[in-house]
Amino acid sequence: MPITPSTRQYWTEAGRIKDYPLAEKLHGYFYLRFPYFYIATASASNRLGKFGARVLGMINKVFPPRPGKADQITFADTYHGKVIPLQTARELVSIKQNIKVDDLEKVIPYQLARSLIIDHPESLVALDCPCRVARENPCLPLDVCLIVGEPFASFTLEHHPTQSRAINHEEAIAILEAEEARGHVHHAFFKEAVLQRFYAICNCCQCCCGAMQAHASGTPMLASSGYTASVDETLCKGCGNCEPYCQFNAIEIKDGLNHINKTACMGCGICVSHCEQNAVELVLTPSKGVPLEMTRILEEAAP
């Protein structure tokens, strides 16, 4: 079987990363090449975090962490998402220039995968969500995972032609806005093995998303947006319209008012877009981390 151009591109990109272990290169290739098997296997175990921990434990025994990395690498360190409001998601699929920012330690507070590198940002693909596909009765539609840039877009189209389609940024924004209306959360996903960088925006629901379920079970795979929701009590009517949309179970209607659990809130902004009274807003919360502010990042990336 001939090697596809996107496969060559993946291994070329992987070869440019200094001290990138073979185990992680293979892990990234396997994840991109067989995402449905990868997610279905984890879902079948119903213990995504423990499944990943076992796999990484075996990898670490055969291929010890490279110098300068922590001795213990957890599943959450190698695969995680940054919660992003709709506006940030729109900006990520509307970038018109290649960008490379390596210092995202404050934005993505994990040991690994801190780079935001987007080559050929006009390359966008809608992929059938592996988490939804793995469910018996998934949320619909399925094609809500947005693959951003190269080599990921070409790799997805070449290896998953029946589960993916090329889209433009207007179509990507339409998907994001439709998922927002459904109450689904936007995540910018990073993975250590996937070339140590950003590669996709997923639109997630707690009933299907393995990462959200693992996070809820105590495996910290998701980083807060850096905001929390705040309620203006003079405007809130306690209608409860926002409560069922919260994917993090952070909203409770008590005494006729919307009460936000600040600890549980991840700052996705879904409650903001579903409040007819405009009584909810996102407030910058330093203790929750740093937002993925694309305007600042693009300014830093400018030559």
Beta-strand pair 222-223/79-84 = parallel
- Tell me how crowded residue 162 is: count the other CB atoms within 10 A of its CB: 6
Q: What is the pLDDT of residues 156-179, one digit of tens each?
A: 999 999 999 999 999 999 999 999
**Token digits of residue 148:** 């951003």
Reference 248, options 278, 231, 224; nearest CA is: 224
**List of domains in the chain:** 5-218+290-301 (no CATH), 227-284 (3.30.70.20)
Parts of the chain with a pLDDT under 70 = 1, 42-79, 110-114, 300-303
* Per-residue pLDDT, 301: 65
Helix (H) or strand (E) holding 5: helix 5-15
| CA–CA dist 282, 230 (Å, integer) | 6
Q: What is the value of pTM for the model shown?
A: 0.87
Give 34's contacts (C-beta < 8 A, 6+ positions apart): none
The token pair at 165 is: 């389609």
Can you give the pLDDT at residue 72?
54
Task: Please name the helix (run of DSSP H) or strand (run of DSSP E) that holds residue 25, with its range, or none.
Answer: helix 22-33
Q: What six digits make up the tokens of 40?
A: 């279905």
Determine the pLDDT at residue 57: 54
Unique residue bearing structure tokens 């405007």: 235
Q: Which two tokens stand for residue 66?
A: 């490279």
Q: What are phi and psi of 181, to 5 degrees?
A: -65, -30
* Cα–Cα dist 161/171, whole Å: 18
Average pLDDT of the chain, as a whole number: 85
